């Protein structure tokens, strides 16, 4: 099966549409949470994912948007954006987000937003956390987001290997324990402003990371008109 794997869209419809236009023929689209939050088009992004029958999980911003998670620990900008998101979300969108699971197994892969140990909150940013997460997976391989940075962790013969993929990087993970992060569609944080995503071949056990340009300036202008935090607007141009 060929699958486009998307994560951390964060209500950025322009980025999502650019990625979907760039996706070759695939059997399914999977998403790894944080569909809303930060960006200007939460209802529209959810609507687009519903149109294409995307399958996936709930992230911490999605949980916060439907009131299932407090936002006291969010930073000031994230909190302001979430307060706005909660105010504008339609009931239909909230119901769809509420129905998303925190964890999902598809094609012998574990899908989570944060980590296999803590699917909503834990960030996988270090080797020990990655190793613990991989050990906790019920499947050999898994997919996660949350960090907004494309990365792969692999364990073979007890050794942990880390890969920081660029656009076009291909990894054959078949036969190894692996945790793969596609990076962020709507708010990359690896210093590259283009949308990051993953093309997965489940039959071959292979993944290829992709980057897609979109009209960042138009999204920034939209966010400014809505009064969303200036720092969230500015960071889109720098991928940070």
What's the CA angle centered on 74, arms 78 and 142, to 5 degrees?
A: 90
d(CA 11, CA 187): 9
Residue 174 pLDDT: 84
Q: Which of 51, 112, 59, 100 is nearest to 82 (CA)?
A: 59
Q: What percent of the chain has pLDDT over 70?
A: 100
- Encode pLDDT of 185-198 as tens digits: 999 999 999 999 99
Q: What are the residue ranges spanned by the domains of the chain?
A: 2-235
What's the start-to-end Cα distance of the chain, in Å?
Answer: 33
- Tell me which fold the domain 2-235 belongs to: Purple Acid Phosphatase; chain A, domain 2 (3.60.21)
- Encode pLDDT of 78-131 as tens digits: 999 999 999 999 999 999 999 999 999 998 999 999 999 999 999 999 999 999
The three-state secondary structure class of 199 is: strand
The three-state secondary structure class of 177 is: strand
Q: Which of 82, 69, 45 is nearest to 229 (CA)?
A: 82
- Encode pLDDT of 2-18 as tens digits: 999 999 999 999 999 99
Q: Which residue's entry shows tokens 């997460």?
A: 133
pLDDT band at 208 (very low <50, low <70, confident <90, very high): very high
Q: CB under 8 Å to 222, separation ≥6 — which residues?
A: 40, 41
- Encode pLDDT of 14-69 as tens digits: 999 999 999 999 999 999 999 999 999 999 999 999 999 999 999 999 999 998 77
């Amino acid at each position: 099966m060929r699958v486009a794997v998307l994560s951390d869209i964060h209500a950025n419809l322009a980025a999502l549409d650019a990625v979907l236009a760039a996706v070759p023929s695939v059997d399914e689209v999977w998403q790894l949470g944080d569909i809303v939050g930060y960006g200007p088009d939460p209802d529209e992004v959810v609507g687009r994912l519903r149109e294409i029958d995307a399958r996936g999980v709930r992230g911490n911003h999605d949980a916060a948007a439907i009131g299932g998670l407090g936002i006291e620990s969010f930073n000031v900008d994230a909190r302001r954006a979430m307060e706005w998101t909660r105010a504008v979300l339609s009931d239909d969108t909230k119901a769809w987000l509420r129905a998303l699971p925190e964890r999902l197994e598809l094609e012998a892969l574990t899908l989570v937003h944060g980590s296999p140990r803590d699917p909503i909150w834990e960030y996988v940013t270090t080797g020990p956390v990655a190793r613990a997460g991989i050990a906790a997976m019920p499947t050999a391989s898994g997919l996660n987001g949350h960090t907004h940075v494309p990365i792969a962790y692999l364990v073979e013969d007890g050794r942990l290997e880390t890969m920081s993929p660029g656009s076009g990087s291909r990894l054959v993970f078949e036969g190894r324990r692996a945790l793969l992060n596609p990076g962020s569609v709507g708010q990359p944080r690896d210093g590259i402003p283009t949308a990051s995503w993953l093309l997965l071949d489940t039959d071959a056990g292979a993944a290829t990371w992709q980057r897609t340009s979109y009209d960042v300036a138009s999204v920034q202008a939209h966010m400014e008109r809505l009064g969303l935090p200036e720092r969230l607007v500015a960071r889109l141009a720098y991928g940070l």
